[in-house]
């Protein structure tokens, strides 16, 4: 009897110790600088978003938040670096639609499952794409492009910013819905891709709005559709997905998105604290206005669970599309 009571008391003491440890962690975290890894070089949209949030999260969390750029290998360099880091809440990763859902859904050579290797912290927002043509293409609307492509089968090429990227899969989805055929010409980034559309090397393509706008304003490319659920104030005369008469295009949105994750197994206290800070930053008026006006990102808030559910849904959508379309990339 005495031994049983002693064992029971030991269990109770251990549970109390765990509770106090968790409370102490929550009250003290963070106690040193936090690093956000970005899978792109400096100057791009992902880098700019990471730096904006890092600056504001530093104020909320009362510690330095540093951005570290690790470009290369379709963001794999950044993801591998995250995986090698302790799951203590001090090394995070700015995930994108392509790294969290699109590429893992169709690429067998990436070697990771987003739902298994990441701790989901929070949603940052969605970013639209713009469907563009070189001015030499005699199409000023989606209907005209579809008609032209059907009248000239196999003659149009489309750009992508890489296999499994948003521009690749979104265009493949568009072709499946509309029944047209175009040939992919892959590049390494949106910046390279839109340069080639403007030069006429590749006549058709989709890129994220920040890369599209300067060349649209310069008249070097022609926008024919905003890949989003609603029109954009910067392109008031360009139809969004619901404005077209083509059925089935609404599933193309979101074109891409951003969110914050960490290594699998992060302490729940750290995830909660970071999620709260992320939501606090998202509701700051200057942050929301800059996201919309500079990056065309619609800011979002939510919980770690809701962000995980969103990514799960996107993964499922693109896995089904890849399977039914026969799109499977392996190196």
- 330, two tokens: 């392996």
Q: Find out whether the peptide bond into 254 is cis, omega within 30 degrees of 0.
A: yes
pLDDT at 32: 97
Question: Same topology for domains 32-127+256-325 and 129-252, yes or no?
Answer: yes
Q: What band does 74 get if pLDDT is binned at 50, 70 and 90?
A: confident
**Cβ-contact 270, 94 below 8 angstroms:** no
Residues 6+ apart with CB under 8 A from 51: 67
Q: What band does 43 get if pLDDT is binned at 50, 70 and 90?
A: confident
- Mean pLDDT, to the nearest integer, of 26-38? 91
Residue bearing the bigger pLDDT, 10 or 258: 258
3-class DSSP string for the chain: CHHHHHHHHHHHHHHHHHHHHHHHHHHHCCCCCEEEEECCCCCCHHHHHHHHHHHHHHHHHCCCEEEEECCCHHHHHHHHHHHCCCCCCCEEEEEEHHHHHHHHHHECCCCCCHHHHEEEEEEEEEECEEEEECCCCCCCCHHHHHHHHHHCCCCCEEEECCCCCHHHHHHHHHHHHHCCCCEEEECCCHHHHHHHHHHCCCCEEEEEHHHHHHHHHCCCCEEEEEECCCCECCECCCCEHHHCCCCCHHHHCCCEEEEEEEECCCCHHHHHHHHHHHHHHHCCHHHHHHHHHHHCCEECCCCHHHHHHHHHHHHHHHHHHHHHHCCCECC
Q: What band does 154 get if pLDDT is binned at 50, 70 and 90?
A: confident
Inter-CA distances, 4 with 7, 10, 13, 93, Å:
5, 10, 14, 47
Q: Residues of 134-169 as b/e, b for ≥16 C-beta within 10 angstroms?
A: beebebeebeebbebbeeeeeebebbbbbbbbbbbb
Other Cβ atoms less than 10 A from the Cβ of 184: the count is 16
Residues pairing with 18 in the sheet: none
Q: What band does 6 get if pLDDT is binned at 50, 70 and 90?
A: very low
Q: How far is CA 147 from the centre of its chain?
A: 32
**pLDDT of 10 higher than 80:** no
Q: How far is CA 321 from the centre of its chain?
A: 18
pLDDT at 220: 97
How large a percentage of the chain has pLDDT more than 70? Answer: 92
- 2, two tokens: 């005495």
Per CATH, the number for 129-252 is 3.40.190.10
Biggest CA pair distance of the chain: 90
**pLDDT of 256 higher than 60:** yes
Q: What band does 330 get if pLDDT is binned at 50, 70 and 90?
A: confident
Residues 6+ apart with CB under 8 A from 219: 135
Spans of all domains in the chain? 32-127+256-325, 129-252
pLDDT at 328: 87
Q: How far is the C-alpha of 253 from the C-alpha of 229, rounded, in Å?
A: 6
Q: How far is the C-alpha of 275 from the C-alpha of 267, rounded, in Å?
A: 12
* Domain covering 32-127+256-325, topology: D-Maltodextrin-Binding Protein; domain 2 (3.40.190)
**pLDDT of 232 higher than 50:** yes
pLDDT at 9: 56
- Mean pLDDT, to the nearest integer, of 171-180? 96
Residue reference for tokens 């978003």: 49
- 40, two tokens: 């792109």
**pLDDT of 323 higher than 50:** yes
């Amino acid at each position: 009897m005495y031994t049983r009571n002693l064992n029971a008391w030991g269990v109770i003491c251990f549970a109390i110790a765990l509770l106090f440890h968790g409370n102490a962690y929550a009250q003290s975290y963070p106690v040193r600088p936090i690093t956000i890894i970005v899978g792109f070089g400096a100057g791009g949209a992902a880098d700019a978003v990471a730096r904006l949030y890092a600056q504001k999260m530093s104020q909320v969390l009362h510690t330095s938040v540093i951005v570290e750029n690790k470009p290369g290998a379709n963001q794999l360099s950044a993801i591998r670096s995250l995986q090698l880091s302790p799951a203590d809440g001090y090394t995070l990763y700015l995930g994108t639609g392509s790294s969290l859902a699109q590429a893992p859904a169709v690429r067998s050579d990436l070697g990771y499952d987003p739902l298994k290797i990441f701790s989901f912290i929070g949603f940052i927002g969605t970013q639209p794409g713009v469907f563009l043509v070189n001015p030499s293409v005699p199409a000023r609307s989606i209907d005209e492009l579809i008609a032209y492509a059907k009248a000239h089968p196999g003659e149009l090429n489309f750009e992508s910013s890489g296999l499994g990227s948003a521009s690749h899969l979104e265009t493949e989805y568009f072709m499946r819905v509309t029944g047209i055929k175009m040939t992919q010409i892959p590049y390494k980034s949106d910046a390279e891709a839109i340069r080639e559309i403007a030069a006429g090397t590749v006549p058709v393509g989709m890129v994220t709005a920040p890369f599209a706008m300067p060349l649209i304003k310069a008249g070097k490319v022609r926008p024919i559709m905003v890949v989003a659920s609603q029109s954009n104030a910067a392109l008031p005369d360009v139809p969004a997905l619901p404005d077209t008469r083509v059925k089935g295009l609404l599933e193309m949105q979101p074109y891409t998105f951003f969110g914050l994750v960490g290594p699998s197994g992060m302490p729940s206290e750290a995830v909660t604290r970071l999620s709260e800070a992320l939501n606090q930053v998202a509701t700051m008026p200057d942050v929301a206005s800059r996201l919309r006006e500079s990056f065309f990102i619609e800011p979002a808030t939510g919980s770690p669970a809701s962000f995980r559910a969103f990514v799960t849904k996107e993964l499922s959508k693109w896995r089904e599309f890849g399977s039914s379309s026969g799109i499977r990339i392996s190196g």
